[in-house]
A and B are shown apart, each in its own frame.
Chain A
Amino acid sequence: MPSFTGSVPNLVDVGPLVEILISPSRAFIDTVRTSDPNALIASPLRATSMIDTGASGTVVNPNVIAALGLSPVGSVFIHTPSTTEPIECDQYHVDIAFPNGVSFPNAVVICAPLGMQNIKCLIGRDILENAVLTYIGYINQFTISF
């Protein structure tokens, strides 16, 4: 089972952060390149993400989505602590690569602004449902396996 282990100085303060690569999905690349071999496809982008068991879906910041040059393929309503009514957000089709060669293809992610500094992505329970997450607070370490 592919896995990686992350360590941070203080898991309480910063949370389980991990550097990931977000790219247009392989399905998108292959299909678009079949019809247009010269189609411009964005390179994978590095993004600091937080593993968030409080998020039912994976969220990516709009500036990352814009840089990937993708068009929306879905729409979903979301509730957050600051919303009184559900908000409708676009969804985008991406591949996500964790360190140590752990990849998660064909993720349909929600595009929404994340107020937290430097965090460009929340890894939500839609991805975690395929994983084993081990959180070892007293040594500031976590492991995710797929």
Chain B
Amino acid sequence: MTADHAQSSLAAELHTFAAHRNELLGRAKGKYVLIKGQNVVDVFEDRTDALVRGYREFGNHPFLVKKVTDVDAPLNFTSFQL
């Protein structure tokens, strides 16, 4: 999915992910990547490990942990509206 991330509080990290997606797919498909700003910090097998590393490096500040996949399939909700 191509998207404008301007509304997200993680806009910088999402742009970084998009810029590195193909390279990440080649070496870390299905793993979790930790991104802060324009930096791809590391990749992890386990999401919690990525989160702990993020807390250790950045404390309680925004960072992105994202599974490396080909597409961002949206989650579906049938019972509540925004």
Contact = CB atoms under 8 A, between A and B. Distances in A.
A15 to B, nearest CB: 9
Interface string A109-127: 0101111100000101000
A28 interface: yes
Interface string A25-50: 10110011011100100000000000
Interface string B37-54: 000000000011001101
A80 B63 contact: no
A86 B54 CA distance: 27
B80 A115 contact: yes
Contacts of A88: 3, 5, 7-8
Contacts of A90: 8-10
A54 B79 contact: yes
A82 B14 contact: no
Interface in B1-45: 1, 3, 5, 7-10, 13-14
B6 to A, nearest CB: 10
Interface residues of B, number: 35
The B interface, classified by DSSP as helix, strand, loop or mixed, is loop
Interface residues of A, number: 45
A70 B10 CA distance: 14
Nearest to A119: B80
Contacts of B13: 75
A52 interface: yes
* Residue picked from B52, B60, B72, B81, most chain A C-beta under 10 Å: B60
B80 A71 contact: no
Contacts of A9: none
Contacts of B63: 71, 73
14 contacts: A28-B55, A31-B52, A31-B56, A34-B56, A71-B63, A77-B3, A77-B72, A77-B75, A79-B75, A80-B81, A81-B77, A81-B79, A86-B74, A114-B80
